[in-house]
A and B are shown apart, each in its own frame.
Chain A
Amino acid sequence: MYNYHADIIWAANIALLAIVALTCLVILLTAVVKNYLWEERRRGLLGIKSNIYEFILSNKSPSSAVCPSFVNGVTPQQFIDIKTNRRIDAAFFNDSEQQFLKDCFISPEALAKLEKTAKKSSDKWRKIEAMLCLGYTQTQSAVGILKDTILSKDKDVSYFSMISLGQIKTVPSARVLLNFLKKDPSSSYKIVSILEAFPPDIADDVVRLTDYHDPLVRYWAVTLLAKFASGEYILKLEKLAGDAVPEIRAAACDCLGNIGGIKTRPALIRCLKDDSWLVRSRAVHSLAKVMGDSSLPEVAVLINDPSWVVVDAVKTVMTEHIEASLPYIERFLAGDYEVAKKYSVLALQDSGYLVKLLNEAISGKSHAAKLLKGVIKSRVHSGLDAALGSLDPVMREKALEILMET
């Protein structure tokens, strides 16, 4: 007979049984405690809400002198609950309630306590909550602390430092973020996303970053600059439009397009001849943004571009300025280049001009009939079905007659 070690298995079973029983108990206890804590949290928030109402009804305006005493008991967790409405299932706080609490929350004592926690707490999530509170209350002195915490090896501490700095929205907080962008370009997407919401007075600092040696940093700096750029940076952007990296040249085109004005045109026209399709396509969009339909003589020639992205950009410009584009479309339809024909018809379709063209042709306008003939002969007349479908039956009959003739 084999020895099956029944005694060992039974011993393991008894141990397992005890563990299972204990786990059941711990689950139930955890559920009860969690439920209790949740109720406490809910009651706490509702209590703060009713206290705020009572205070407001007593017609007092909040100031450090008259801030009600209950604010002293508000914890960082509750403050964030209120500021972000993340516990909306417990209580909702409107803007004025949030503002009231923000004005009262930061007493010098509370601030000192928060700063201490943000600097020294070994509990990561308490530290982060303190940092967020400093951010939400826009405490300027917190920038110094966040400048250190953003460099933390802990990714969460670093990330929430960025978020907190993003709430402060001043030039010093932007500088910390921009410096961090240089150190850790992998965070650049989030940093740029945060900095976009800053006031334009950070533009000078952003411009300085466009000279940085790392192309990724330069790229994000130019991308961000597109949000704040004004005429004074045109020379700088013209230089960036000649950068060695195509993405940077493309971003410079976007920036120039946002600035607009006559001075940006030469650089944008130069970019239409760039080696990179990315730059050419952005230059097409930007030039159209700056010059409107008068960009068409420069832009329309790129319908023959080898890159479909550029051709699509030209089509978009033609769609936006369809009336002014008609002479070009006529010429393309009469030509031999199939891509130009296709995108011309698409421009007519996307702009909804095909319906107008049919109506004009029905009312006997010869130029419309001529253009329609060009569309039919192009053999890429997608969209005519839908255009015909939108006409009433009598008009549709007439349109079909004209189409048959052409």
Chain B
Amino acid sequence: MLIPKVIYAVFVVSLGYFLILTIYYIFLTVVGSIDQMKKTMQGEREDYSLFYFSSRKPPVSIILPAHNEEGWISDSLQALLGINYPEFEIIVVNDGSTDGTLDILNKILKLKSVDAMYIKHYKDGRLRGVLKSDLYPNVTVIDKDAGYKKAGAVNAGLNVAKHDYVCVMDADTILERDALLKVMAQVEKEPDKIIGVGSYFGLVNGFKIKNGTIMDRSYSYNPIVAYQNVEYIRSFIGNRLAWSRYNAMPIVAGGFGVWRKDVLYDLGGFSSEFTCEDMELTFRAHDYIVKNKDKGYKVLMFPFYVGWTEGPDNISALIMQRNRWQRVVDETVWKYKYMLCNPKYGFFGFLAMPYFVLYEVLGVFMEVIGIVFVTAGWLMGVLNINIFLAYLLFMLLSQSFVSLLSILAFVEGQRLFKIGYIAYLIMLTLTEFFFYRWSISTAKIIGTISYLRGSKSHDQYTRSKPA
């Protein structure tokens, strides 16, 4: 008698969960697509020349941390050297690379050792030396021992950054030429309020790149990569833009993020005590926003494609990456659990945090338990096939609908994919439930177990070289 009761309870809770999640996503996607439309309109009409030639434009320090990045560093650095921004410095941090990263940097930049003053404001690890480029006066290379993950490398860059804004990137991010111009022109509207900014970026897999210039933008038809494109779209429009609209952005991604340096200073820089640093810093920034409520600080997301980064192109690499992401989510949510439904944190506490707890942390268990119990119920004869199929179809359709809504908003606002590729993404969306979703669930479960076992390693899958 107990088993049917349990199965019924799980059935109801699971259906309710999917219903709530679908409604939440629909709401956020609608808000996100309106925000995308508005910001795209603003961006299109912005007078960038006025900004470019103003003496008040904010100069930016770009920090490019690199740990064994010989495959990408040449292209990402050359893309940076060619960006269209009036005043910037590039700080490449060679984070104890054991491959040819430093040699490549030397070849491109013609480095020489300098006896520069280096003050350790932030935790960064042992410094080997500071090098300056003979060819590009605005480029500095910090050579340091590995040991404090990406956070330590970025902190080393922060220690020498001289401008008021800091752009933090990944070594495999190929920045668009106008990326900083578009983002900083928006920051200039409210420089006293905007403390952190993220923007769209996509997957570079399939592109042809030569010396940091994208020669051919062919989006990958590898389903593992294409599914990630759908996920990125869903995440940017269906989550982040809407969160940003309510000043509840919980993550400025490590692939591209701009921060005000004085705020980073107040926050004590990036923390190496977490598996990854980007999400934790953004959560900490929300603490900072609450503590300085009178100043009206904001962390925003913009719908401008600022760059392209490599995504895993096989299932084991994908699982490794998502395992890491899951640990970051678990670590951060646990540390900042007091923000959940805390009125002090406003929309962050009531809109973003419940999503992280219910979907990102517990969601995978809700899904797996739901499927396992309902399947068991059917096999045990508690549920008939009619109910079982109705349940599965509801899961499939509700998830597909949410993804399709994001794709619709994306296609309306961005001119990126050709019609053939859009049709392919639609097809993938309808089949995501059969394979991709469960691969991600597997990664999330492994990630949660690793988190519970205390693992904080920054596992990096083997990267391929750009085509």
Contacts and interface: CB of A to CB of B under 8 A. Distances in A.
A128 B419 contact: no
A163 B408 contact: no
B222 to A, nearest CB: 21
> Which of A4, A23, A30, A227 is the most central at the interface, judged by chain B CB atoms within 10 Å of its CB?
A4
Nearest to A387: B115
B408 A23 contact: yes
A152 to B, nearest CB: 15
A171 interface: no
B189 interface: yes
A394 interface: no
Interface of A: 1-2, 4, 6, 9-10, 12-13, 16-17, 19-20, 23-24, 26-28, 30-32, 34-35, 38, 80, 84, 86, 125, 128-129, 132, 156, 159-160, 163, 166-167, 186, 189-190, 192-194, 196-197, 227, 346, 349, 382-383, 385-386, 389
Nearest to B404: A23
Contact of B188 (A17, A190, A382): A190
Contacts of B423: 28
Contacts of A383: 115
B55 A9 contact: no
Interface in B394-426: 394, 397-398, 400-401, 404-405, 407-408, 411-412, 415, 417, 419, 422-423, 426
At the interface, is chain A mostly helix, strand, loop or mixed? helix
B20 to A, nearest CB: 14
A347 B82 CA distance: 33
Given A4-B383, A163-B47, A190 B408 contact: no
B54 A385 contact: no
At the interface, is chain B mostly helix, strand, loop or mixed? helix
A345 to B, nearest CB: 11
Contact of A12 (B38, B394, B400, B417): B394
Nearest to A89: B415
B53 interface: yes
A20 B49 CA distance: 44
For this complex, into which size category does the number of interface residues on chain B fall? 35 or more
A16 B411 contact: no
B232 interface: no
Contacts of A132: 45
B24 interface: no
Given A129-B45, A189-B191, A20 B397 contact: yes
A13 B56 contact: no
26 contacts: A4-B383, A6-B384, A6-B386, A9-B387, A9-B390, A13-B390, A16-B401, A20-B401, A23-B408, A24-B404, A30-B408, A30-B412, A80-B45, A84-B48, A125-B45, A128-B45, A129-B45, A163-B50, A189-B192, A190-B189, A193-B51, A193-B57, A196-B55, A227-B55, A346-B117, A383-B115
B41 interface: yes
Contacts of B263: none
Contacts of A386: 113-115
Interface of B: 4, 8, 11, 15, 38, 41-42, 44-51, 53-57, 113-115, 117, 188-192, 383-384, 386-387, 390-391, 393-394, 397-398, 400-401, 404-405, 407-408, 411-412, 415, 417, 419, 422-423, 426, 430
Contacts of A32: 419
A4 B411 contact: no
Contact of A10 (B383, B390, B405): B390
Given A31-B422, A84-B49, A189-B188, A9 B397 contact: no
Given A160-B45, A194-B50, A34 B412 contact: yes
Contact of B47 (A27, A166, A382): A166
Contact of B407 (A13, A27, A86, A190): A27
B411 A196 contact: no
B404 A16 contact: no
A38 B411 contact: no
Contacts of B426: 24, 27-28
A382 B51 CA distance: 40
Contact of A23 (B42, B386, B405): B405
A159 B115 contact: no
A23 B383 CA distance: 32
Nearest to A135: B47
Nearest to B427: A24
A9 B400 contact: no
Given A4-B11, A24-B404, A30-B408, A196 B41 contact: no
A252 to B, nearest CB: 18
Contacts of B11: 4
Contacts of B415: 34-35, 38
